[in-house]
A and B are shown apart, each in its own frame.
Chain A
């Protein structure tokens, strides 16, 4: 077997090597599995992986390629799966005890679309239970460590996906983003993470947390990979009534066309409420300031914009998201599937199964959501939050009248140590830069912006585009990524 250069592991590099017959898909999958077995005991990105199933798929891929019938340039490349995205025959635990015994009977549409191109779903990646959390510490099984500093969290909730990509265990992975769950771990682990426009990617087969906010998206080592995965998974799906009636994206073409250009003529808005945020860690603020200068050097015009309802976004989010979660998680009762704890009758079985099956953060959110929807409180909380959501959405529409993209930090803080943030409200407040986007529905990407000089930890920057402007967003991100080496002396990307 030819050697696989794990340092350069990406979908793009694997596609190139497979085309040149440097290795087969079977050799790639074997090497990846061996590397994970050797090194994941320090990271714990994976809940489990089925090497035999992946090897069967790899052999089929090699046979297709040998007979000139490869399904795409990416046939035979493994992609990791957050454990809330359904793959036939695999676990779908959402890192929760209540779903620990479940095996998925079907593929999520995003997974089926990846398989249609020959991608091989590989492994079940750890997460905060039911995607509720920002550190991966809420997994019911074990926490995942940040591969860049194993005493720190990888972020969350897609912490396993970000860690697997950062540790070079897999070329790319799927995650899900309800309030920043792709972008924040991407920032903490120094990878790229994309939240597509709401409705771009079908949610069929994604275990629902907050249905009006959830989106599947890629975590990748570079913008090019994120584009490849987005192109593969996007597009209308009759199985998801909220899926937009549009064909898939052509983001890879946009990335390849744009990345050697500059950003002349592009206006990038700085939301003054974000920039003025007093809670910004000094290391994050420094990298953010450098990113602004870098964008100017690339020819972009920086303009100040305002998102006046920013200070209400966290409150709106934790009302809307928990209300939807309390309804969505009502289906987990230990009767038809999952872990049942027998009680004296049906209702008592609900209480016991849910009491034992859900962890502390999930209970907290179910209770908050139940409260804001309960009789007498609905108008004051839920309905009012939906109205403020309208104002937040209008803020973005107004801001995009005077600029093409927005630039913001991803998280106010550097990756923190395990157990460092124990107050739930403080943890919620750290979502400030990522959640407004989910409420408004438009797309955003976290890309490596630089490194904190003191700790050496990565700091992501977030570019935000209007709804359905993924091609423009990824094109600009690719320009920044390509130039980042020259600006910082640190290599980023594939």
Chain B
């Protein structure tokens, strides 16, 4: 079984979550306890057992590839935090370099 010591800073990096140092320390302890608890599953022999991903097994669901109405653009943009020309979502600078903001 995997080492139950969880590296909070690394996992928070993967999850794109900013944590303040006090939060990170508290979570380190709490998640350490939880991980030790879930390590319990190592006791069981699961050789030859198929994994269950969904409660009710489903095959792929197909539909016809046909043109349908979609939401109007203004409806979909109504919740955007920042717009350009009322038609585009304004995003922060994507690539590093000279600031354009």
Contact = CB atoms under 8 A, between A and B. Distances in A.
A376 interface: yes
* Most chain A CB neighbours (cut-off 10 Å) among B31, B34, B55: B55
Interface in A348-393: 348-352, 354-356, 358, 360, 363-364, 366-368, 370-372, 374, 376-377, 380-381, 383-391, 393
B27 A367 contact: yes
Given A106-B71, A242-B56, A326-B15, A424 B30 contact: yes
Given A338-B81, A339-B81, A345 B34 contact: no
Interface residues of B, number: 52
A364 B15 contact: no
Interface residues of A, number: 80
B17 A366 contact: yes
* Most chain B CB neighbours (cut-off 10 Å) among A102, A244, A336: A336
A336 B80 contact: yes
B67 interface: no
A287 interface: no
Contacts of B84: none
Interface of A is mostly: helix
Contact of B27 (A198, A241, A333, A363): A363
A105 B14 contact: no
Nearest to B34: A425
Contact of A105 (B16, B31, B75): B75
A340 B81 CA distance: 6
Interface string B18-55: 11000100010011011101101110101001111111
Interface string A296-325: 000000000000010110111011000000
5 contacts: A355-B18, A367-B27, A372-B38, A390-B51, A425-B34
Interface of A: 101-103, 105-106, 197-199, 212-213, 238, 241-242, 244, 309, 311-312, 314-316, 318-319, 326, 330, 333-340, 342-352, 354-356, 358, 360, 363-364, 366-368, 370-372, 374, 376-377, 380-381, 383-391, 393, 423-425, 428, 438-441, 467
